[in-house]
Amino acid sequence: MNDILQYKNYYASVSFSAVDEVFYGKIIGINDLVSFEGSSVKELKTAFKEAVEDYLETCQEIGKSPDKTYKGTFNVRVPATLHKEASLFAAVHNITLNEFVKTALSFTLKHKDKVNRVINNDDTTMEPA
């Protein structure tokens, strides 16, 4: 799992700069770039919460929705063999490739804990493709 912070249903990716000796992060899942930093983990977490509060307040003041808008469409790049295998699976089951991908995404999100174990090589009962 990545280094992620969560506060009020907002998430942030965080990193450490050895050159600057500072922790830094940015809020993800919004349309704007909001970053924050701290010299310790405690300061980083506090700065993240303050950044979220400030962002929400600013959005309210200007009448803007703070959340990123998702259109429901995106491009996925996969190896040709995986594309072929998924297309054949969909055809055999009389569904579209889009329906297959929706099902795969839903299944994965409903089984996050299991999938996380597989991704982190903690569980080999469900081998990744």
Domain layout of the chain by residue ranges: 4-62, 71-129
Which of helix, strand or coil describes residue 4?
A: strand
pLDDT less than 50: residues of the chain: 1
Give the per-residue pLDDT at 54: 97
Q: pLDDT tens across 9-46, in order?
A: 999 999 999 999 999 999 999 989 999 999 999 999 99
Question: pTM for the complete prediction?
Answer: 0.68
Write out the two tokens for 48.
């993240």
Give the per-residue pLDDT at 51: 98
Give the per-residue pLDDT at 36: 97
Place of tokens 């090589």: 121
28 near 13, Cβ under 8 Å?
A: yes
**Burial, 7: exposed, middle or buried (Cβ in 10 Å; 0-12, 13-18, 19+)?**
middle
Give the per-residue pLDDT at 109: 94
Which of helix, strand or coil describes residue 42?
A: helix
Give the per-residue pLDDT at 120: 84
Give the per-residue pLDDT at 41: 93
Phi/psi of residue 83, each to 5°?
Answer: -60, -45
Give the per-residue pLDDT at 13: 95
82 near 76, Cβ under 8 Å?
A: no
